[in-house]
Structure 1
Amino acid sequence: MEAGQENSKRTITMEEEVRRVVDAAGERGLHLRVIGGVAVKLHCPSAAHRSMARTYGDVDFIGYRTQRTEVARLMEDLGYEPNVRFNALQGHRRLLFDHPELGYDADIMLDVFVMCHELTFVGRLERDEYTVPIEELLLSKMQVIELNEKDVKDSFAMLHDHDIAEVDDLDTIDPRFIAKLCSDDWGWYKTLTMNIDKISELAPDYLEEKESEAVVERLSRLRRIIEEEPKSMKWKMRARVGEKRRWYDLPEDVVTHQH
């Protein structure tokens, strides 16, 4: 499909469509939340700032595996058509749909978000109204081994708009949640601390001086808390092996989507 033809179909914005889908899911007692760039845009006003603005691909959701049949029915009722072959083969972990009238594709991952590392959402989707929790949203971007510009911009938008503090607040990033994940999984620890350092170095290229200093301070605080968290025996054993063995995955993208 030509880009112009596809865009001409889009009578509602991605943000509007995400809310429509999540609201409809909620009416049926289903837990469906958006992840990826659109979720960042919903969570972060600064995502529209020229230094952090970017184009968005299609709509990515997280749902619960136990509700996959009901979720599939919901999507069809909302006008989406299933990728029948893919869903038959991979429907236990992921469902793909497209909306022929709106021109949007929907990628629904079930229970787990898998890229370079695994991020489990069981018991977490109820926390926020439309998006996955801000902690997982940040982790989904900073778990990428080879950060690209969209991951960097999305990370800066979140770190600019959300403080890092040990409070139970939907708009504050809880460092203990992230530290606990990293304290049990050396691979997560390695990638995340590596990317904290990378993003800290890039901050002056994307942000004004005061904004850059604030973001770098938040990242420094997060890194300190990660380092201070007591590590599990599993973590210590894997740390002995270190970089001699690859600590991340490079998953094949069966159907490409821009997160």
Structure 2
Amino acid sequence: MNTPALALRDSSTMVRRQLKRLIRYPSMTVQLIITPVILLLLFVYVFGGTLGAGLGGGRDTYVDYVLPGILLMAAATAATGTAVMVATDMTEGIIARFRTMRISRASVLTGHVVGSVVQQLLGMAVLVGIAFAIGFNPNATAVEWLAATGLLTLFILAITWLSVALGMKSPTPEAASNAPMPLILLPFLGSGFVPTDSMPTAIRWFAEYQPFTPIMETVRGLLLGTPIGNSAAIATAWCAGIAVLSYLWAKNTFNKA
């Protein structure tokens, strides 16, 4: 069997390891799915009437507006779990054991990344299903749904590689649980919950130029038909840049460990 085939086999084994870990410890998986759902229900049913009125509608208008922000927050929340799992592997000696075995070094990180991406996509599917149940009403075509899904997948890939790198740099799993926390705040400091033009000047400047805002605006535009402008190109560039830099950081850290 040639080297690429061996790497693919080892990577599939590591992916199965991560998926089995999600089954073995369902509380973390449930928490990562339930937390965004609770936030969605909270913002729609508690704040949605007032915030939706500010958008020229009501709760039905607000659930359409807020869903992209909750989707990105869900991915940022899941990044915390990924960082913890990576830090646990790094500190409990399993990585040292893997190094003594004839397996592809890249497969260890690939298992974490692919397993996390699968988990997050399933979580997002549940979140979108709940949104439909409470009034989400997109007008997207099949192509636009595919484009939105592709962008969200690229974002998940980028945020997962970043969480893997943060997990490897953290001295303990407890420290790793705090490292991705600032990512959870970015939808609030962007266009995730209210339009940026309603914010004070300094905050509005940050909100318009941070990476999450063009991603949310692109997803919102694809699903609801709102103007996208150059947000799609900017969002893709941010996701690709974060993914590449985080991959290189994670790979370099893993090789030095």
| TM-score of the superposed pair, with normalisation by structure 2 | 0.28
Greater relative contact order: 1 or 2 (C-alpha under 8 angstroms, separation 6 or more)? 2
